[in-house]
């Protein structure tokens, strides 16, 4: 009969698991969306603060978290029903066993053949009691099991997902190492999967002859970068074929194909390693026979150890000590750096080639990142070189030197370059002009310029410098008016242009270069402590703060505690019933009718207990589940808010990275949720049961109970030691795998770079090496910790054995009855086993304590500690949490800016100045240009104007008020277009609307007007969903030019008094730039504009142009004045002339 319980358990598990997994998936999906927003916001905190966009991003984050909370509460209800049914079935089994057992004993007494002995019945019943305890121990783990099962399903979907383009597969045709490198596109069309109705390329037919330089130009979004991606097989064409030397690329081995192609992408990404290692990565998949013997070294730790030498990393005597292979790699790296015009700035860095590039190259400037990426592409001496806007972040002279170098190495090499600056493609053998995904013109530069009314000629004319000055009659300077010698700087002047970049890299570097090998890195990492993220709070503080955050859910807490008390009491109640039942079923002292009656009576009591367990567990689990989800929502939103309120310097100090901070919001909060839900309810029930069991046992038979109680300290001691060891294990586990996780995250974030360079095996080797280095230590730590787990579990059975011996002694002595003994036995047994179960939950407690310490540390930095004190609707938008009065947002006209003897050094390197006694004045409504070499300090000036940093000395005045005394709301009148447009995962409408002033919402009309001014409206309307088009994570579904124009629209929708343009048109074609410039002229007549540009076309009409070199203003004037007085400016301008 009892066998029927197995299907009941299976049905309960399957049905409960189905609903649990269903709602778990929904919650995970919403949390993933929220995490994407948080990741983008933390990665672009400077833009978030510049626009005061924190409340709007927080609102979207909170919306997804609300969806996650709703789904998680439903998941909690599913778990509550599952737990209640688990106990209901277990106790019903006991009731059924008592009833059926009494019938079988009666049958034996009456001599019927279907009876059983008391010993047999006792054995079955006691096994069921034990099974109830074991099943009860499973209940708190059901949510963890369900979560793990759901995560595993999603993980397996990714693992088993077919890869159409597999860079690790060994199948496919392998090319000879001396393949010529001719590429043909035959009737190629392409659609992105997310927009299958909008063609990016339409029936494109192109030939890239082997050994020739072909340039591709055209409007932003015309399909240029898509062609580059198709050639590198980062995508496959939807229709048509692409062939390399007559072979369809789809038939070629992907890894082998990419070995012949080196790409410098539009937004190059470097890995978090030294510059030496980053450039050497280009050799990993080299097809050249002379490079094959170097691959073992490239996959090993030797280069990392060499880079740790810093400035001496390329010193011949030191390099030779690492072997001939390392010496050859260093030689190739230095040669490639010289070709990419990177050697000069690298050698001037504090650590030279050993300088860390940072995550995605964040510790070097945009120009430096492009040069290192170009060197990485050139180091393997590729057969095919693809340059996708490879020099857009460089000043004109640097760009000219690089293109001269590329022209020198282009002999016998297929070069495909994509460019908006047409001056860089004058020497190309063929120029292809793209428009709306089609080829509209092609030919040499001279041929295309000769086409009257041609697209290329129109674009070229738009890039020719014209009259100067906003509202001034300036004069343009033709190339004939200057001596040709002015088109070149001498070597000394050229080197001076690089000093600014070298200084900036040294100053931005916030991480020490100690990457000698993975193990040493891990050891060094453990020594670094963050005063906020690594602080340990006492348990009393954690509990007190937890109570404060769950106070709004006091009603659910009362219900949950009351239900947990009932659950805890029923365990001891079952022992009371068990003792009386076993005593009552004794045929020696009761008649058959009496036994039959007692079996029905106590079976009924146990069934009543099963029903009580069902409802008590449901209310306990659901109440604590609701409390947990409300707590999670609060701490996630508050921690996200607090992180966005912290300044840029805070985010850049102490090695804090977006991924580390994101972990606090996701992993740490999940650890708190795991403990504060069903786990804390279970712990409360166990504690109640332990107290009730001790009291009951002493009431029933104190002589047995008091001796059994002596064993409790042993149980508590083993549990405490297990908890202590688990806490240490958790710390070691986190430290050991943090670097491995960082490698995985970096690879995913830079997947295009990993794929283009065929670094899949290298990344996996690094990942496995980091895991192996800590595996043995983790196994030992886990084994040692489990000794205490074993002792804790064994102790409960020792209590059980001891209770049998001591109880039998008291019964024989006549001091206790059999009924008393069994009541105490079951009560103490259940209590001991449940106490052992509680310590199996010790990892959850350990993780939760550390997680809550970190989260409380973050929240304590914020301006609010409770959600109700600051709404997420944007009513209070001071991103620094200040209480100062707002600047009057109705004030009209431009902003007056005064820099008075301003000096600045980054806090991490106060001994190295970035700006030295800078003074200038910008009158309201002026258009001021900032020009100079990469890294000279131009972007620093903009950061200081926004008060993202504070000057070391001197003062900055805005409208006559010291910037240090301005409330943070002064940023409401400022709009920024950053060098790298930071857009967020959302619709076009949402991204443009982020530019609206805090507390205001941009109307659809205002958004469309801003987009028209930014020359992006028509492009948006051509998309299937228009302004409701999803941009994707980091706006990956848009082209570089489209992203930049949206960033400009976001700035214009604010109608700012001060507009900051940091290389705002570097990714735009000439026609888009001209249309944008006309729009800016219309809306900024009464706006102060401060623009950084390498393209002088952007600023040549400025009221005044400041020339910045080495952190100083070395000259100023109009375009015409600087052409006469400043040689470096004149050289820059002449380098950009096309005619």
Beta bridge partners of 929: 1091, 1105
Q: What pLDDT, on a 0 to 100 scale, did the predictor assign at position 786?
A: 77
Q: What pLDDT, on a 0 to 100 scale, did the predictor assign at position 1033?
A: 77
| Cβ-Cβ contacts under 8 Å for 85 (sequence gap 6 or more) | 12, 16, 614
Query: Does 147 share its domain with 205?
Result: no
Q: Which residues of 123-134 are buried (b: 16+ CB within 10 A; e: fewer)?
A: ebbbebbeebbe
Question: Residue 441 domain-assigned?
Answer: yes
Percent of the chain with pLDDT over 70: 81
Q: Give the C-alpha separation, 945 to 971, whole Å.
A: 10
H or E stretch including 191? Answer: strand 183-191
Query: Does 797 share its domain with 734?
Result: yes
Question: By the 8 A CB rule, do 566 and 616 touch?
Answer: yes
H or E stretch including 443? Answer: strand 438-443
Query: Does 58 share its domain with 185?
Result: no
Q: Give the C-alpha separation, 753 to 496, whole Å.
A: 31
Question: Residue 17 domain-assigned?
Answer: yes
Question: Residue 444 domain-assigned?
Answer: yes
Start-end of H helices in 170-312: 224-231, 254-259, 275-280, 295-298, 302-307
Nearest to 58 by CA among 1056, 1028, 994, 1044: 994
Q: What pLDDT, on a 0 to 100 scale, did the predictor assign at position 249?
A: 92
Question: Residue 1008 domain-assigned?
Answer: yes
CA torsion, points 55, 56, 57, 62, in degrees to nearest 10?
Answer: 80
Q: What pLDDT, on a 0 to 100 scale, did the predictor assign at position 130?
A: 67
Q: Give the pLDDT mean for 387-401.
A: 73
Q: What pLDDT, on a 0 to 100 scale, did the predictor assign at position 261?
A: 92
Predicted confidence (pLDDT) at residue 459 exceeds the cutoff of 50: yes
Q: What pLDDT, on a 0 to 100 scale, did the predictor assign at position 841?
A: 65
Q: Give the C-alpha separation, 1115 to 1093, whole Å.
A: 16
Q: Give the C-alpha separation, 830 to 822, whole Å.
A: 12
Query: Does 856 share its domain with 925?
Result: no
Predicted confidence (pLDDT) at residue 523 exceeds the cutoff of 50: no
Question: Residue 874 domain-assigned?
Answer: no
Q: What pLDDT, on a 0 to 100 scale, did the predictor assign at position 846?
A: 67
Predicted confidence (pLDDT) at residue 694 exceeds the cutoff of 50: yes
DSSP 30-99: HHHHHHHHHHHHHHTHHHHHHHT-HHHHHHHHHHHHHHHHHHHHHHHHHHHHHHHHHHHHHHHHHHHHHH
CA distances for 637 relative to 190, 534, 668, 999, angstroms: 41, 21, 13, 19
Instruction: Give the gyration radius of the chain's Cα atoms.
Output: 36
Indicate the pLDDT class of residue 242, thresholds 50, 70 and 90. Answer: very high
Least confident interval from 190-204, 345-359, 537-551, 915-929:
537-551
Most confident range, picked from 139-143, 150-154, 740-744, 1056-1060: 1056-1060
Predicted confidence (pLDDT) at residue 749 exceeds the cutoff of 60: yes
Query: Does 182 share its domain with 101?
Result: no
Predicted confidence (pLDDT) at residue 18 exceeds the cutoff of 90: no
Query: Does 754 share its domain with 679?
Result: yes
Give the torsion sign (CA, 194, 199, 205, 208): negative
Question: Residue 910 domain-assigned?
Answer: yes
Query: Which of 835, 862, 889 is the last residue before a domain boundary?
Result: 862
Predicted confidence (pLDDT) at residue 1068 exceeds the cutoff of 90: no
Give the torsion sign (CA, 1100, 1102, 1103, 1106): negative
Question: By the 8 A CB rule, do 265 and 388 touch?
Answer: yes
Least confident interval from 109-118, 539-548, 726-735:
726-735
Most confident range, picked from 182-191, 260-269, 450-459: 182-191
The CATH number of the domain where 1080 resides is what?
3.40.50.300
CA distances for 766 relative to 205, 356, 518, 643, angstroms: 41, 17, 8, 31
Query: Does 912 share its domain with 1038?
Result: yes
Predicted confidence (pLDDT) at residue 518 exceeds the cutoff of 60: no
Residue-wise pLDDT for 823-867, tens only, equals 887 777 677 667 766 666 666 676 777 777 788 888 888 766 666
Query: Which of 847, 862, 877 is the last residue before a domain boundary?
Result: 862
Q: What pLDDT, on a 0 to 100 scale, did the predictor assign at position 616?
A: 92
The CATH number of the domain where 728 resides is what?
1.20.1560.10
For the beta sheet containing 247-248, the strands, ordered from the edge strand earlier in sequence to the opposite edge, are 199-208, 183-191, 239-244, 247-248
Average confidence score pLDDT of the chain: 79
Least confident interval from 9-23, 217-231, 1016-1030:
9-23
Q: How many domains does the chain have?
A: 3
Q: What pLDDT, on a 0 to 100 scale, did the predictor assign at position 726?
A: 66
Start-end of H helices in 313-395: 316-320, 324-339, 343-347, 366-378
Residue-wise pLDDT for 401-418, tens only, equals 777 777 776 677 899 998
Question: By the 8 A CB rule, do 956 and 963 touch?
Answer: yes
Query: Does 785 share its domain with 839?
Result: yes
Most confident range, picked from 108-122, 184-198, 773-787: 184-198
Q: What pLDDT, on a 0 to 100 scale, did the predictor assign at position 470?
A: 42
Q: Is 1092 helix (H, G, I), strand (E, B) or coil?
A: strand
Q: Give the pLDDT mean for 626-647.
A: 88
Percent of the chain with pLDDT over 90: 12
Q: Give the pLDDT mean for 120-135.
A: 70
Predicted confidence (pLDDT) at residue 777 exceeds the cutoff of 50: yes
Q: What is the pTM of this model?
A: 0.72
Q: Give the C-alpha separation, 776 to 550, whole Å.
A: 41
Q: Give the pLDDT mean for 1034-1055.
A: 85
Query: Does 559 share its domain with 606?
Result: yes
Q: Give the C-alpha separation, 102 to 1044, whole Å.
A: 82
| Cβ-Cβ contacts under 8 Å for 870 (sequence gap 6 or more) | 641, 863, 864, 876
Least confident interval from 302-316, 533-547, 891-905:
533-547
Give rounded-to-5 percent helix, strand, coil for the chain: 60, 10, 30
Question: By the 8 A CB rule, do 979 and 942 touch?
Answer: no
Question: Residue 204 domain-assigned?
Answer: yes
Q: Give the C-alpha separation, 122 to 114, whole Å.
A: 17
Start-end of H helices in 585-679: 592-645, 648-652, 658-663, 669-674
SS3 per-residue string spanning 888-932: CCCCCCCCCEEEEEEEECCHHHCCCCCEEEEEEEECCCCEEEEEC
Residue-wise pLDDT for 216-230, tens only, equals 998 877 888 899 999
Residue-wise pLDDT for 921-965, tens only, equals 999 988 898 888 777 788 889 889 988 888 989 999 998 888 888
Q: Give the pLDDT mean for 22-42.
A: 86
Q: Give the pLDDT mean for 454-467.
A: 73
Query: Does 182 share its domain with 219?
Result: yes
Predicted confidence (pLDDT) at residue 1070 exceeds the cutoff of 90: no
**What distance separates the 2 farthest-apart alpha carbons in the chain?**
127
Question: Residue 760 domain-assigned?
Answer: yes
Query: Does 635 share its domain with 774?
Result: yes
Q: What pLDDT, on a 0 to 100 scale, did the predictor assign at position 11?
A: 82
Indicate the pLDDT class of residue 484, thresholds 50, 70 and 90. Answer: very low
Q: What pLDDT, on a 0 to 100 scale, did the predictor assign at position 331?
A: 92
Domain that holds residue 1127: 897-1135
Query: Which of 400, 430, 462 is the last residue before a domain boundary?
Result: 462
Q: Give the pLDDT mean for 594-616.
A: 88
Q: What pLDDT, on a 0 to 100 scale, did the predictor assign at position 504?
A: 45
Q: Give the pLDDT mean for 497-502.
A: 43
Query: Does 720 share its domain with 825?
Result: yes
Question: Token pair 């750096």 is at which residue?
Answer: 337
């Amino acid at each position: 009969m009892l066998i029927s319980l197995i299907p009941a358990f299976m049905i309960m598990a399957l049905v409960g698991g189905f609903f649990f997994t269903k709602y778990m998936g929904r919650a995970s999906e919403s949390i993933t969306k929220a995490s994407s927003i948080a990741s983008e916001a933390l990665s672009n905190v400077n833009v978030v603060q510049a626009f005061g966009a924190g409340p709007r991003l927080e609102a979207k984050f909170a919306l997804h978290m609300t969806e996650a909370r709703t789904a998680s509460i439903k998941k909690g209800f599913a778990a509550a029903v599952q737990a209640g049914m688990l106990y209901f079935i277990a106790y019903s089994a006991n009731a059924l066993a008592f009833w059926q057992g009494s019938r079988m004993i009666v049958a034996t007494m009456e001599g019927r053949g279907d009876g059983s002995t008391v010993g047999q019945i006792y054995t079955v019943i006691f096994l069921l009691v034990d099974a109830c305890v074991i099943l009860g121990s499973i209940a708190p783990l059901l949510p963890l099991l369900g979560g793990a099962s759901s995560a595993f399903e999603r993980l397996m979907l990714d693992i088993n997902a077919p890869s159409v383009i597999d860079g690790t597969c060994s199948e496919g045709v392998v090319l000879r190492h001396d393949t010529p490198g001719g590429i043909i596109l035959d009737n190629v069309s392409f659609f992105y999967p997310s927009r299958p109705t909008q063609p990016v390329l339409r029936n494109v037919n192109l030939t890239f002859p082997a050994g020739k330089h072909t340039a591709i130009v055209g409007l932003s979004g015309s399909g240029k970068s898509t062609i580059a991606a198709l050639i590198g097989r980062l995508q496959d064409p939807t229709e048509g074929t692409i062939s390399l030397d007559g072979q369809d690329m789809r038939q070629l081995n992907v890894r082998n194909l990419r070995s012949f192609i080196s790409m410098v992408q539009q937004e190059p990404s470097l890995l978090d390693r030294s510059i030496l290692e980053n450039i050497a990565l280009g050799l990993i998949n080299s097809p050249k026979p002379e490079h094959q013997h170097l691959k073992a070294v490239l996959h090993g730790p030797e280069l990392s150890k060499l880079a740790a030498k810093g400035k001496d990393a390329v010193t011949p005597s030191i390099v030779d000590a690492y072997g001939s292979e390392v010496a050859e790699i260093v030689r190739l790296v230095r040669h490639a750096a010289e070709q990419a015009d990177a050697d000069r700035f690298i050698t001037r860095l504090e650590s030279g080639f050993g300088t860390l590039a940072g995550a995605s190259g964040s510790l070097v400037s945009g120009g430096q990142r492009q040069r290192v990426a170009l060197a990485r592409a050139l180091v393997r001496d590729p057969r095919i070189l693809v340059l996708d806007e490879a020099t857009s972040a460089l000043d004109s002279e640097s760009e000219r030197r690089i293109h001269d170098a590329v022209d020198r190495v282009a002999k016998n090499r297929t070069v495909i370059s994509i460019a908006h600056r047409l001056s860089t493609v004058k020497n190309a053998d063929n120029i292809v002009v793209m428009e709306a995904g089609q080829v509209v013109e092609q030919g040499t530069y001279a041929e295309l310029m000769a086409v009257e009314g041609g697209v290329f000629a129109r674009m070229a004319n738009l890039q020719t410098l014209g009259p100067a000055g906003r509202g001034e009659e300036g004069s343009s300077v033709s190339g004939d008016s200057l001596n040709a010698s002015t088109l070149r700087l001498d070597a000394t002047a050229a080197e001076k242009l690089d000093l600014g970049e070298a200084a900036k890299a040294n100053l931005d570097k916030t991480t020490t270069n100690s990457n000698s090998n993975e193990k040493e890195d891990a050891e060094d990492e453990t020594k670094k402590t963050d005063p906020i993220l690594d602080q340990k709070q006492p348990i009393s503080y954690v509990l007190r703060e937890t109570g404060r955050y769950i106070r709004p859910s006091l009603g659910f807490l009362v219900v949950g505690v009351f239900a947990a008390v009932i659950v805890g009491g029923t365990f001891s109640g079952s022992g009371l019933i068990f003792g009386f039942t076993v005593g009552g079923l004794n045929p020696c002292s009761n008649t058959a009718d009496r036994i039959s009656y007692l079996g029905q009576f106590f079976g009924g009591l146990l069934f009543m207990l099963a029903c009580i367990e069902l409802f008590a567990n449901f209310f306990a689990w659901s109440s604590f589940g609701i409390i947990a989800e409300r707590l999670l929502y609060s701490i996630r939103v508050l921690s996200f808010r607090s992180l966005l309120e912290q300044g840029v310097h805070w985010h850049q100090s102490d090695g804090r990275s977006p991924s580390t901070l994101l972990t606090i919001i996701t992993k740490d909060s999940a650890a708190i949720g795991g403990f504060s839900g069903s786990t804390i309810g279970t712990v409360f029930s166990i504690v109640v049961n332990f107290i009730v069991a001790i009291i009951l046992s002493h009431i029933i038979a104190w002589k047995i109970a008091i001796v059994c109680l002596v064993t409790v300290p042993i149980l508590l001691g083993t549990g405490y030691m297990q908890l202590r060891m688990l806490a240490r294990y958790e710390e070691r586990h986190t430290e050991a795998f943090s670097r491995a996780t960082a490698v995985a995250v970096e690879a995913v974030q830079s997947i295009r770079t990993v794929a283009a360079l065929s670094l899949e095996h290298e990344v996996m080797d690094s990942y496995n090496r980091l895991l192996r280095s800590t595996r043995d230590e983790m196994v030992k730590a886990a084994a040692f910790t489990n000794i205490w787990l074993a002792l804790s579990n064994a102790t409960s059975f020792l209590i059980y054995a001891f209770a049998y011996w001591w109880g039998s002694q008291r019964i024989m002595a006549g001091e206790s009855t059999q009924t008393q003994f069994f009541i105490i036995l079951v009560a103490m047994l259940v209590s001991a086993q449940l106490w052992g179960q509680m310590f199996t939950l010790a990892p959850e407690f350990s993780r939760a304590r550390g997680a809550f310490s970190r989260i409380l540390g973050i929240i304590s930095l914020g301006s609010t500690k409770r959600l109700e004190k600051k709404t997420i609707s944007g009513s209070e938008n001071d991103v620094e949490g200040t209480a100062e009065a707002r600047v009057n947002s109705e004030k009209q006209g431009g902003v007056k800016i005064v820099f008075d003897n301003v000096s600045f050094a980054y806090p991490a390197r106060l001994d190295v100045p970035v700006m030295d006694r800078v003074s200038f004045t910008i009158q309201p409504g002026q258009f001021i240009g900032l020009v100079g070499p990469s890294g000279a300090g131009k972007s620093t000036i903009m950061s200081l104007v926004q008060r993202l940093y504070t000057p070391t000395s001197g003062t900055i005045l805005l409208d006559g008020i010291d910037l240090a005394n301005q409330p943070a709301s002064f940023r409401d009148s400022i709009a920024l277009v950053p060098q790298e447009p930071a857009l967020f995962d959302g619709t076009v409408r949402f991204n443009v609307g982020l530019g609206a002033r805090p507390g205001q919402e941009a109307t659809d009309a205002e958004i469309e007007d801003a987009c028209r001014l930014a020359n992006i409206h028509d492009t948006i309307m051509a998309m299937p969903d228009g302004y409701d088009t999803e941009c994707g994570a980091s706006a990956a579904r848009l082209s570089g030019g489209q992203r930049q124009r949206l960033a400009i629209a976001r700035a214009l929708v604010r109608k700012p008094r001060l507009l900051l343009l940091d290389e705002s048109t570097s990714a735009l074609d000439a026609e888009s730039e001209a249309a944008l410039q006309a729009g800016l002229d219309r809306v900024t007549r009464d706006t102060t504009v401060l623009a950084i540009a390498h393209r002088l076309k952007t600023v040549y009409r400025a009221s005044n142009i400041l020339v910045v070199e080495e952190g100083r203003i070395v000259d100023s004037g109009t375009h015409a004045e600087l052409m006469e007085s400043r040689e470096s400016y004149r050289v820059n301008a002449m380098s950009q002339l096309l005619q």
